[in-house]
Amino acid sequence: MIKNLMRGLAPLALILSPLAVPSPALSANVILFPDALSELTEAAEDPDGYKATAFRHWNQGLDPADGCDTRSEVLIAEAEDAPGTGAKCALTGGRWTSPYDGQSVTDPAALRVDHVVGLEEAWQSGASGWTAARREQYANDQGAAATLVAVTARSQKEKAGRDPAEWVPSDSARYCRFVGDWVSTKLRWGLSTDKDEMEALKLFADGPCEETVVLRSKAPQ
């Protein structure tokens, strides 16, 4: 599927993910996608025992006093036009562009906050061995722009927790950001990569996403 998607596409212009322009202070942590890919650990997935309740979300977010949970805080942070905020953090208006399909959205209820690396994928890639508290940290991580994204409900359903061996955004202007965010998140949380997933990522690293920029960061302990 991935080879068919990439066939015939011209090399893309530089795509910065998740940063728009890396600052000098962060330059040591900004690497090209192929270099970031080489830092991943390849290992077989552990599919047993996953359940959604293993990852508590959404919690009180970064500011428990603002009345907004993580989902609402992500929507506010990613809005291109800020929404109104009412009682109990009820959001109205605003404008967003979904990074998976490029759709412009003006109704916050029509958006979903997606884990770029889905919860089941994280479980199978190492999170099964974490404490419940660390899994909650992961599920509500706002410390890196790559981890959580506001997307249309349709595109989240289409992705359905699949990895880049099975799904990437169809728009050639968007899939380099997705795979860059994917690798950034796996590095941040020390998650492994299975063989098929790695082979798919290598196709992007050797072709259209060669110059995609990834931010290397460490999740809090």
For residue 20, the model assigns a pLDDT of 39
For residue 104, the model assigns a pLDDT of 98
For residue 10, the model assigns a pLDDT of 33
Please tell me the pTM assigned to this model: 0.87
Nearest-angstrom CA–CA distance, 204 and 198 = 10
For residue 46, the model assigns a pLDDT of 87
For residue 3, the model assigns a pLDDT of 43
| CB proximity list for 47: less than 8 A, separation 6 or greater | 124
Task: Scan for tokens 């600052």, then name that residue.
Answer: 23
Query: Which two structure tokens, joined as six digits, stand for 160?
Result: 């359905």
For residue 27, the model assigns a pLDDT of 53
For residue 173, the model assigns a pLDDT of 76
Nearest-angstrom CA–CA distance, 103 and 83 = 17
Nearest-angstrom CA–CA distance, 96 and 203 = 30
For residue 144, the model assigns a pLDDT of 95
According to DSSP, residue 26 is labeled G
List b or e across 56-75, with b for residues whose CB sees 16 or more CB atoms inside 10 angstroms. Answer: ebbeebeeeeeebbbbbbbb
Low-confidence ranges of the chain (pLDDT < 50): 3-26
